[in-house]
Amino acid sequence: SYKFWATQPVPQFDEKPAIFEEGPLKIQKVEDIPDEPIPLNLAPFRWVTMDLTDEKQMQEVEKLLYGHFVEDDEAMFRFKYSTSILKWSLMSPGWRKEWHVGIRSGDTLCAFIAAVPTEIRVRDKVIQGSEVNFLCIHKKLRGKRLAPVLIKEITRRINREGIWQAIYTGGIVLPRPVSTCRYYHRALNWQKLYEVGFSPCPSNSKPAFQVRKYALPEQTSTKGLRELQVKDLDAVHSLLERYLKRFDLTPVFNREETEHWLLHKKDSYAEQVIYSYVVEDASGKITDFFSFYLLESTVIRHPKHNSIRAAYMFYYATETAFAEPFDKGALQKRLNDLMADALILAKRHNFDVFNALSLMDNALFLEKQKFGPGDGQLHYYLFNYKANPIHGGVDKK
Residues near ligand YNC (CB under 6 A) are 2-5, 68-70, 130, 132-137, 142-148, 151, 154-155, 158-159, 163-166, 168, 170, 172, 174, 383
DSSP classification of residue 38: P
Q: Looking at the chain, which runs of residues are DSSP E strands?
A: 45-49, 77-80, 100-105, 108-122, 125-137, 165-170, 179-187, 225-227, 249-252, 274-280, 286-299, 307-318, 353-357, 372-383
Least Cβ distance, residue 150 to Mg ion (angstroms)? 9
* CA dist., res. 119 & res. 252, Å (int): 5
Choose the contact partner of 122 out of Mg ion, ligand YNC, none; CB within 5 to 8 A by kind: none
Q: With respect to ligand YNC, which residue has the nearer C-beta, 363 or 387?
A: 387
Choose the contact partner of 158 out of Mg ion, ligand YNC, none; CB within 5 to 8 A by kind: ligand YNC
Least Cβ distance, residue 103 to ligand YNC (angstroms)? 11
Choose the contact partner of 151 out of Mg ion, ligand YNC, none; CB within 5 to 8 A by kind: ligand YNC
Q: Side-chain half-sphere of 343: how many Cα atoms within 13 Å? A: 26
Choose the contact partner of 93 out of Mg ion, ligand YNC, none; CB within 5 to 8 A by kind: none
Q: With respect to Mg ion, which residue has the nearer C-beta, 45 or 190?
A: 45
Q: What HEC string does 143-211 produce?
A: CCCHHHHHHHHHHHHHHCCCCCEEEEEECCCCCCCCEEEEEEEEECCHHHHHHCCCCCCCCCCCHHHHH
Choose the contact partner of 94 out of ligand YNC, Mg ion, none; CB within 5 to 8 A by kind: none
Least Cβ distance, residue 130 to ligand YNC (angstroms)? 6
Choose the contact partner of 166 out of ligand YNC, Mg ion, none; CB within 5 to 8 A by kind: ligand YNC
When asked if residue 101 is in the footprint of Mg ion (CB under 5 A), the reply is no
* CA dist., res. 91 & res. 100, Å (int): 10
Our CA angle for 220, 226, 228, nearest 5°, is 140
Size of the site for Mg ion (CB under 5 A): 2
* CA dist., res. 187 & res. 185, Å (int): 6
Q: With respect to ligand YNC, which residue has the nearer C-beta, 64 or 346?
A: 64
Q: With respect to Mg ion, which residue has the nearer C-beta, 61 or 146?
A: 146
In order, the DSSP letters of 248-279 are SEEEE--HHHHHHHH---TTT-SS--EEEEEE
| Helix, strand or coil, per DSSP, at residue 312 | strand
Q: With respect to Mg ion, which residue has the nearer C-beta, 3 or 266?
A: 3
Choose the contact partner of 300 out of Mg ion, ligand YNC, none; CB within 5 to 8 A by kind: none
Least Cβ distance, residue 68 to ligand YNC (angstroms)? 6
Least Cβ distance, residue 111 to Mg ion (angstroms)? 8
Least Cβ distance, residue 267 to ligand YNC (angstroms)? 29
Site for Mg ion in 128-167 (CB under 5 A): 144, 146
Compute how many other C-beta atoms are within 10 angstroms of the C-beta atom of residue 363. 16
- The contact set with Mg ion (CB under 5 A) reads 144, 146
